[in-house]
Amino acid sequence: MHALIQGIILGVLTAGVYALMASGQTLIFGIMKVVNLAQGAMVILGAYLSYQLFTSFGIDPLLAIPITTVAMFIVGVAVQLLFLRPLKSEDRSELSLLVTFAVALLLEGIMSVTWKTSVRSINTGYANSSWTVFGYQITLVRLWAFLLSIAALLVLYLLLNRTRFGRAIRATVQNPESARLLGVESSRVSALGFGLGAATAAAAGSVYGLLYPFNSGSHYDLISRLLSIVLLGGLGSIGGAVVGALIVSTSSAVVASTISPSWSEMTFFVILLLVLLIRPQGLFGTTARGAI
């Protein structure tokens, strides 16, 4: 019982960072109908950037977030303009999938040339402090990560719901043709939307770097988890991404604490399998477009 509750606490705290990564990915899908396989690599790149800021300039990863998000926003816009916009042919969704895979490989290559392949971790002063509440351990760094992810999600929510740009994005998600008729420039929205997705990846990367050691190959683990979360929540639904992250992260943490850590990875896939068998469009996905 103790292990179960400890697992639930850990899972909920970890869910924040996954929700953040997945919301970026699902946002990109919502806007462009592109499944971004490079999202994991972008997260790891964000983690490396904040690692570099921490080791070279002593900037705390949590404070580095404004810098890394801006940098990754630019990277994201560049990727969209250079590699995704030129795709015109009929099977664009298929091609864009492969292109983002290639971008993931490119980022992996660049990262392993720049930072080598040895495993890095960001060791802040508070990395090892923790509280014990009613016999359950809560590490400070995880609590921070959770609060920060929630804050970033809140910013994303406000951006989407309270700004002109957000309105344009939501309009594009719901109906690109009507949005275009109403004067939304969809190509610009696509570029900025991809940038926004990359920026959430950067924010998540800073948090991820605090929580886990990583190297350039870590993005394979991440992307497989992200895909399970996004499919569970329903492609294109940000609320779905958050709920999906909660479910997936909690159940895998419970499996890790009650059965064995090496099988926690499988939880993702078992959940995914169940989703596909029972509800292929995901929890909050619609067969029509426009769930955000």
Partner 1 sequence: MRSLRYAGPLRGVVFFALLASLPSFNLAHWVLNILVFTLMYAVMSSSWNLVGGFAGYPSLGHAAFFGIGAYTMALWFQHRAIHSGYEPFLLLPLVGLLAAAIGLPVAVIAMRTRSDVFAIVTITLLFVTQTLAFNLRGLTKGAQGLSIAAPPFSARTFERPFYYTLIVLLALAMGITFGAMRSKLGLSLAAVRADEDKARGIGVRVLGVKLLSFSVSVGLTAMVGGIWAYYEGFIYPQFAVDPLVTIAIVLMTFLGGRATLWGPVLGAFILETGQQTLAYSLGGSQFYLIAYAMVFLLVMLLMPRGIVPSIQDRLRQRRRRTEVDAGAPRPSPPTMTRSSDTRTSVPALKGHA
x/- binding map, residues 25-64, to partner 1, per CB under 8 A? Answer: --------x-x-x---------------------------
Q: How many CB atoms lie within 10 A of CB 106?
A: 14
Secondary structure letter of residue 142 according to DSSP: H
Q: Given the complex with partner 1, which of 181 and 278 has the nearer CB atom?
A: 278
What does each C-alpha distance from 144 to 37, 62, 218, 225 come to in angstroms?
27, 9, 22, 22
Q: Given the complex with partner 1, which of 45 and 108 has the nearer CB atom?
A: 108
- For partner 1 (CB under 8 A), the number of binding residues is 47
3-state secondary structure 20-62: HHHHHHHHHHHHHCCCCCCHHHHHHHHHHHHHHHHHHHCCCHH
Q: Does 93 bind partner 1 (CB under 8 A)?
A: yes
Burial 116-146 (b: 16+ CB within 10 A, else e): eeeebebebeeeeeeeeeeeeebbebbebbb
Q: Return the residue of 91, 125, 134, 288 that touches partner 1, per CB under 8 A.
A: 91
Stretch that binds partner 1, among 100-108, 147-155, 197-205, 207-215 (CB under 8 A): 100-108
Helix intervals (H) in the chain: 2-32, 39-57, 61-79, 92-115, 140-162, 164-174, 176-181, 186-211, 219-233, 238-258, 261-278
CA 218 and chain centroid, separation:
14
Q: Return the residue of 3, 4, 66, 117 that touches partner 1, per CB under 8 A.
A: 117
Q: Which of 122, 152, 143 is nearest to 12 (CA)?
A: 143
Stretch that binds partner 1, among 7-15, 103-111, 142-150, 206-214 (CB under 8 A): 103-111
d(CA 60, CA 136) in angstroms, rounded, equals 27
d(CA 237, CA 173) in angstroms, rounded, equals 10
Q: Return the residue of 58, 86, 125, 135 that touches partner 1, per CB under 8 A.
A: 86
Q: Does 87 bind partner 1 (CB under 8 A)?
A: yes
Considering the complex, what minimum distance in angstroms separates the CB of residue 111 from partner 1?
Answer: 9
Task: Name which of residues 262 to 291 contact partner 1 (CB under 8 A).
Answer: 262-263, 265-266, 268-269, 272-273, 276-277, 280
Task: Name which of residues 205 to 234 contact partner 1 (CB under 8 A).
Answer: 216, 220-221, 224, 227-228, 231
Considering the complex, what minimum distance in angstroms separates the CB of residue 172 from partner 1?
Answer: 18
Binding site for partner 1 (CB under 8 A): 33, 35, 37, 83, 86-91, 93-99, 101-103, 105-106, 108-110, 112-113, 117, 216, 220-221, 224, 227-228, 231, 235, 262-263, 265-266, 268-269, 272-273, 276-277, 280
